[in-house]
Structure 1
């Protein structure tokens, strides 16, 4: 069925469609639970065997190639990701998990890169990856090792922009944050689609950095066809576009309607009250991340 959906997407308004297979990783939860509860028939026979049983696989067999400190991989089922790029409007993916009766059509938007471009180059402060705390919100956006590699390759300005942008979003006023979440909820439940508002912090207590929108299709059902697929794809894309335009308006970021709206199929139509807070980024411009607005030049 993955191949059938792949071919259908080529018939929609797409520039490219690619299929990526992701192999299963880790042990399924039900199998892991079964292993945990398996009755032990016989234990070690002597002290030496007891000591050996307590060792890791690498310690018991140094030539096995298993690292001594390697942790069990988190379970991830076998799945296919069909990535679709479009000429205008949001790109999207279709995710098919082995054994599921449905596929997910998914699109998302992150504010971080757009907010990062908000700052003037001469106002950015240098950032050292090594000096950032392990729980810094920048590491929620990109892995620490990738950022360290970029830093070594001379991408200091890019890192400074990303760090300034993510910190600005992390310090978002709680009242404004609450109102933005409320407005996004109105947008997505009206669509209607399922959605997740993404936080700058893993515990969800940070600011807003973007969202993910998704909806299910059931391709194995009798009568499922191109029209059904297109309806869900456009529903997800239109909801994503409305949310994206709303967030850009909220933070007074540039909106290129010619490149982003896609004509009549995707309408921007941002909520009328989306700019009533002024610009939430004004108190963190020109590298003045934690200074009061009155102190900014």
Structure 2
């Protein structure tokens, strides 16, 4: 019996890892093709007899995307970084105070406001274009990065509040009561107690807001019209719209554009794990 159960567990483990490997292969295969294409020459990339690996490796496409005469990648990257960091930072900052109020304070209409966040998921962001466009235009902010920051905050703030409230709900009220007995006010409690204990959730929300702003194409295409203010998604679209389709250059630009989000996820994972351990010790 013991031998048979051991074989069953081993078979389940082999089946699990085999399934995971197959799933990863299917998921990463398009990125592998993009990576290999970015190292191929222009003629080889459109060859009627494609190969997985390039016959002659070339880094020319990566050099080209950093050439401002060919593709102003650095300018687009800077614009995207400014919008994403500002929008994520504002959304998280406002979300912390909003989520704390909904989680820890008792006031009339709290449950109604809390339930209204579920309604956000019922509507597409495209429904906000017309009212936001009128507001942005009346404020004189059309064709500015500020307009995009505002729209990204509007897009991500409800989710930020909803997610952070879920984290704050797990923090015992006894900790707050003890802090109040020590003479801390609400603002000090948020900064010294709530934020350190919920740091993993705050980092997760920041990464989510950053990713939404970084990948946004819809609002950027509407609120921006000057080429020098384009973000990376709009810049990539202009690269794809050129008469000469240089696939290696397009794949190189797409991969480099995705790197910041990948790096942020990798760094935040370690930060979240350390935050969970620190929170467990503090609790």
TM-score, normalised to structure 1's length?
0.22
Which has the larger share of strand?
Answer: 1
Say which structure, 1 or 2, has more relative contact order (CA 8 Å, 6+ apart): 2
